[in-house]
């Protein structure tokens, strides 16, 4: 089966490439033009200059310059709910006509009624049921096409833009700046790996082989006489919290020297990377800007930031105050 071609909105691609072009033009004078000249920007530049200066004790060879980024809330918007959850809910509604039993069966009834409390009450069991109904029973290529088609039309409810445009301009600049200094950038996210891989290269410049995420089991099968991979309704790996260092070790094979996150789900990744030898850089994005994006931390259902913020303050990690430290939040046009 042929691999699904990208169907991301042309406007999304233009915005991202325009944003990255602006970075290239301004890089000679300011590698991070959308960052205010506050402590986080200075810390980033100081770290990069330190590890790239040959002949010094802190020099890190290019093949060891690895940086990992959480996705939800670190690279793109995660409010009012995770994007993949919005995809899952839309898929339930789309498939509902083929499943009349869902009208009276939780958690599907809650989704169809817009009763998220009822959905939440079903706990992990309900989430697995939703996942099985919306993410499994198809080939890998079929699922990727479904994701790509959904992202081409779905919009973030507040900003009325495709989710792939609701990415953070300062973080796009940071990714470009690191790569310009021979860093290899990876996504390490609790989100589904095959939900992210169809679009991360166009949006972030991160190819699918550099995306680590949660996964369900797949099985090799002959489909219509052709070899293929079928997605099964069973969890394989959860790439969140303690799972993130495990995933990095399993799929990347080197301990990174820099890590970027925004929530308690990223704490163990940052702790493990910080514990390595040599220069290290840890950064948390703190969502403090209700006017331009959202303001949330310890009370949030999505992207909760509580213990990780305490850890950052205790250990001297860099914390970005979105309201104070970013000149802009989104790429031009949003």
Provide the percentage of residues in the chain whose pLDDT is more than 70: 91
Average pLDDT, the chain: 92
Quote the pLDDT of residue 127. 84
Give domain status of residue 139, yes or no: no
Give domain status of residue 113, yes or no: no
Distance CA 147, CA 134 (A): 11
CATH of the domain at 24: 3.40.50.1000
Decide: 267 and 307 in contact? Cβ < 8 Å.
yes
What domain range is 18 assigned to?
Answer: 10-80+167-325
**Helix (H/G/I), strand (E/B), else coil: 320:** strand
Name the DSSP class of 186.
E
pLDDT at 4 over 90: no
Q: What total of structural domains would you count in the chain? A: 1
Give domain status of residue 178, yes or no: yes
Give domain status of residue 161, yes or no: no
Quote the pLDDT of residue 26. 47
Give domain status of residue 306, yes or no: yes
Give domain status of residue 160, yes or no: no
Task: Name which residue leads in pLDDT, 222 or 19.
Answer: 222
Quote the pLDDT of residue 5. 45
Give domain status of residue 106, yes or no: no
Query: 256: buried, middle or exposed (CB in 10 Å: 19+, 13-18, 0-12)?
Result: buried
Nearest to residue 302, comparing CAs of 122, 71, 78?
A: 78
Decide: 61 and 278 in contact? Cβ < 8 Å.
no
pLDDT in tens, 150-170: 999 999 999 999 999 999 999
pLDDT in tens, 104-113: 999 999 999 9
pLDDT at 13 over 70: no
Quote the pLDDT of residue 29. 87
* C-alpha R_g of the chain: 20
Confidence tier at 333 by pLDDT (50, 70, 90): confident
Task: Name which residue leads in pLDDT, 137 or 25.
Answer: 137
pLDDT in tens, 224-238: 899 999 999 999 999
CA angle 310-280-77, nearest 5°?
Answer: 60
Confidence tier at 1 by pLDDT (50, 70, 90): very low
pLDDT at 12 over 90: no
pLDDT at 69 over 90: yes
Give domain status of residue 109, yes or no: no
Quote the pLDDT of residue 21. 53
């Amino acid at each position: 089966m042929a691999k699904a071609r990208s169907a991301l909105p042309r406007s999304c691609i233009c915005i991202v490439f325009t944003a990255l072009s602006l970075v290239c033009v301004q890089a000679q004078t300011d590698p991070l033009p959308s960052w205010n000249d506050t402590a986080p920007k200075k810390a980033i530049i100081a770290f990069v200059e330190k590890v790239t200066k040959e002949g010094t004790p802190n020099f890190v060879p290019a093949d060891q310059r690895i940086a990992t980024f959480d996705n939800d809330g670190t690279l793109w918007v995660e409010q009012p709910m995770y994007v993949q959850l919005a995809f899952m809910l839309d898929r339930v509604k789309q498939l509902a006509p083929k499943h009349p039993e869902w009208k009276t069966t939780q958690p599907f009834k809650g989704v169809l009624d817009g009763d998220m409390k009822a959905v939440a009450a079903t706990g992990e069991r309900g989430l697995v049921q939703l996942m099985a109904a919306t993410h499994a029973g198809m080939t890998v290529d079929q699922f990727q096409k479904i994701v790509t088609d959904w992202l081409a039309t779905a919009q973030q409810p507040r900003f009325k833009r495709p989710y792939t445009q609701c990415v953070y301009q300062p973080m796009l600049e940071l990714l470009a700046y690191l790569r310009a200094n021979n860093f290899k950038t990876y996504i390490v996210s609790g989100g589904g790996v095959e939900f992210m891989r169809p679009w991360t290269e166009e949006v972030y410049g991160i190819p699918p082989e550099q995306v680590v995420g949660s996964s369900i089991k797949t099985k090799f099968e002959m489909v219509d006489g052709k070899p293929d991979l079928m997605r099964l309704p069973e969890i394989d790996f959860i790439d969140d919290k303690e799972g993130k260092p495990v995933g990095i070790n399993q799929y990347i094979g080197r301990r990174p020297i820099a890590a970027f996150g925004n929530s308690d789900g990223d704490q163990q990744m940052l702790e493990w990377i910080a514990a390595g030898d040599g220069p290290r850089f840890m950064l948390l994005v703190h969502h403090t800007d209700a006017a331009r994006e959202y303001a949330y931390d310890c009370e949030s259902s999505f992207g909760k930031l509580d213990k990780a913020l305490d850890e950052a303050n205790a250990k001297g990690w860099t914390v970005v105050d979105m309201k104070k430290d970013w000149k802009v939040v989104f790429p031009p046009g949003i």
